[in-house]
Amino acid sequence: MNWNDFFFGVYPYIAGTIFLGVSLVRFDRDQYLWRSESSQMLRTGTLRWGSNLFHIGIIGLFFGHLFGLLTPLAFFEALGLEPHDKQIIAMVTGGALGVLIFIGLVLLIWRRLSDPRIAANTKPMDWVTLLWILATLLLGLSTIFVSAQHTDGAEMLELMDWAKHIVTFQGIQAAGYIQNASWLFKVHIFFGLTLFLIFPFTRLVHIWSGFASVGYLLRPWQLVRSKR
């Protein structure tokens, strides 16, 4: 097994297992620490702009990656979109959402650096998380310039094949699809996978609660009985 097979055929499952397994253990054992640990009470200031821009961008980018990588090509062809068209759409929308995340992240980082009280309440893992997301984002934005040099969609199709084989548990075969991909794409993927690996050790676990809150909409009616 070579390094390409390990990082892009085996490592995704290591990261995924830790992501799910440790999240479950932490929810079971440390529910009182299962929170976003918001610093809003210390100072609002740039938090509103930074947090909103970051969350809008990151949610859009997450589902954009999910939809773009895992949706069958036949779906786009049915809409009259060629691989070239899909790549251009991905570059434009991904770039726009990436800029929103970047502005939001810079505001959030600056807020933690410039306010002594917030800085004192910032844990080392908070800095690891913020800087890791920033590095992953900058790598992703850098791939736009690589993609712009060949807009035929060929490399994009290879990345789609890789993702589809990963989610269908064909890891080693998946790694072969990006054997010759640009190193920028590979480093970006590695950083993205590692973000899932460190996820359950950070305050990012509060994202699970966001997904779980959808169940609130489906809850049964609460019966309130009068004592009369």
Annotation: binding site for heme b? 55, 65, 188, 206
Give the type of residue at 222: Q
Known binding residues: 55, 65, 188, 206
Distances (CA, A) of 116 to 110, 111, 119, 120, 188: 11, 9, 5, 6, 33
Q: Which long-range contacts (CB under 8 A, 24 or more apart) does 110-116 make?
A: 110/46, 111/43, 111/45, 111/46, 111/47, 111/50, 112/39, 115/42, 115/43, 115/45
Give the type of residue at 111: R
